[in-house]
Amino acid sequence: MSDFAADRRGNVAVLFAIAAIPMLSFVGAAVDYARASNARAAMQMALDSAALMLAKEAATTRDITARGQAVFNSLYQNADVKNVTVTTTYIKQNAQTPSKIEMSGKGSIDTAFLQIIGISKMQIGSSSTASWANTRLRVALALDNTGSMDDYNKIGNLRSAAKQFITKLREGVIVPEDLYVSVVPFTKVVNIGTTTSDTYLDWSYWEANSNNQTCDRWGNCSAKPHSNWTGCVTDRQESYDVNAAAPTSAATRFSPDTYVSYDPKQYRNIDACTKLQQMLKMSNDFDTINSTIDAMTALGGTNQPIGLFWSWWTLRQTDPYKDIFPRDPNYQYITAIVLFTDGVNTQSRRYGNGQTQSTQIDSRQRLLCSAIKADTSFDGAKPLIYTVQVDTDGSGQQQVLKDCASDPTKYFFMTNPKLIVSAFTDIAASLSRLRITQ
């Protein structure tokens, strides 16, 4: 009996029995806390998404609390979480704070292991705020409509991408004034329409152009009437082609142009300006915006600077596009240009042959991009420039487009036209007016 009392060989079993409860508690706590952490992360994501969705409806929804609960329930499906409640508050804009949606959620999880030490439930909770920070969007689309856009259905992919881009931006619209968009299809010229006042136009280039003259059999020539003009303009005189001077004097006015091109399908020269879709000034009529995009066709050489220039002009609201939309001093404005092209610069009023790259046009474009990015006339907020290049002929990335973009993240390059949609989707997300602040 004395030997048995002195024997220590069974202590391991005793010690294990004593240690089992705290060991299982520690292991079980890790499992239960992991379950709670995952449930809370999923709740956070659901609250973020619900807050963004409700922000669009806040001004018109009568019972924001009930609507918040319904939207959250549709997004959050976790059977482990019990007694889930959601609180939703809509705070209207005042002089000190922007409009915002505040949402918070909470619930409990039955523990699986912590019950050993008397903890039967774990509480979880999270919150989210969606605010629109008194910010409104003004976006200009400079879209390449040159002949090469017919290849590989690039023009079709561009139409789809541009319309999806508009749809994505509209998701954040609370009131119509939140979003205005202009559309500037370009080739080597831009069709601004024929209603522009003569006070903005310089007819000397038109009258000197042989395409705009009629001659009798004796060789006596005279300029066609200005009424024959079909709406296209070419570059202004240097250096006004790259600066913001208003069209007040002959040197600063825009030059009407008849854009003549050879159409191989019709075996003849045509006035290509009648085929180039007329640009659309800043508008929040989205049916008109989409119909303008749908009407785009492909024809002619490439002059990216003229598309950029008129996009900038629509944003600035300078003559002849003055006071298109009022600026509300209670709001801040984000202004941006999205320049899309599939080719190198080949022809402008002064440079290029319409076939090969013109380094002179590239130089003018760099000056123009610098002027746009330095423009502080938009209440001090400089415009953003996004550039999108699709390359199907192997010319590679255009340095002039990379330099033109506001920063490297705003230059998009692809070789597959089907990826144009993805680029525009990324830009729309970047420009989204709503943001999660907490």
Domain ranges of the chain: 2-131, 135-436
Specify which of 24-33, 57-66, 272-281 reaches the highest per-range mean pLDDT. 272-281
Nearest of 305, 372, 343, 289 to residue 142 by alpha carbon: 305
Higher-confidence residue of 369 and 5: namely 369
The predicted-structure confidence for 146-179, as pLDDT tens digits, reads as follows: 999 999 999 999 999 999 999 988 876 777 888 9
Nearest of 346, 398, 332, 397 to residue 369 by alpha carbon: 398
Long-range CB contacts (within 8 A, 24+) of 69-76: 72/46, 72/47, 72/103, 72/105, 75/45, 75/46, 75/49, 75/50, 76/42, 76/43, 76/46, 76/105
Q: Which residues does 341 contact at the CB level (< 8 Å), separation at least 6?
A: 144, 302, 304, 387, 388, 389, 398, 401
* The pLDDT of residue 4 is above 60: no
What is the chain's mean pLDDT, rounded?
A: 86
- Residue 24's pLDDT is 61
What backbone torsions phi and psi does residue 48 show, to the nearest 5 degrees?
-60, -50
* The pLDDT of residue 274 is above 70: yes
Coil vs helix vs strand at 26? helix
Q: Which residues does 91 contact at the CB level (< 8 Å), separation at least 6?
A: 97, 99, 100, 101, 102
- Residue 409's pLDDT is 94
Specify which of 67-76, 185-194, 328-337 reaches the highest per-range mean pLDDT. 185-194
pLDDT band for 9, please (50, 70, 90 cuts): low
CA angle 250, 255, 260 (to 5 degrees): 160
- Residue 16's pLDDT is 61
Lowest mean pLDDT segment, chosen from 44-48, 94-98, 310-314, 351-355: 94-98
Nearest of 254, 238, 101 to residue 172 by alpha carbon: 101
What backbone torsions phi and psi does residue 287 show, to the nearest 5 degrees?
-65, -45
Q: Among residues of the chain, what percentage have pLDDT more than 90?
A: 52
Q: DSSP code of 279?
A: P
Checking DSSP bridges between strand 121-131 and strand 435-436, what pairing results, if any?
Answer: antiparallel
In CATH terms, the superfamily for domain 135-436 is von Willebrand factor, type A domain (3.40.50.410)
The predicted-structure confidence for 359-377, as pLDDT tens digits, reads as follows: 999 999 999 999 999 999 8
Kindly state the tokens that stand for 138. Answer: 């003004």
* The pLDDT of residue 301 is above 70: yes
Secondary structure tally for the chain: helices H, strands E: 10, 17
Higher-confidence residue of 128 and 413: namely 413
The predicted-structure confidence for 57-103, as pLDDT tens digits, reads as follows: 765 667 888 889 999 999 998 888 999 999 998 887 665 566 788 99
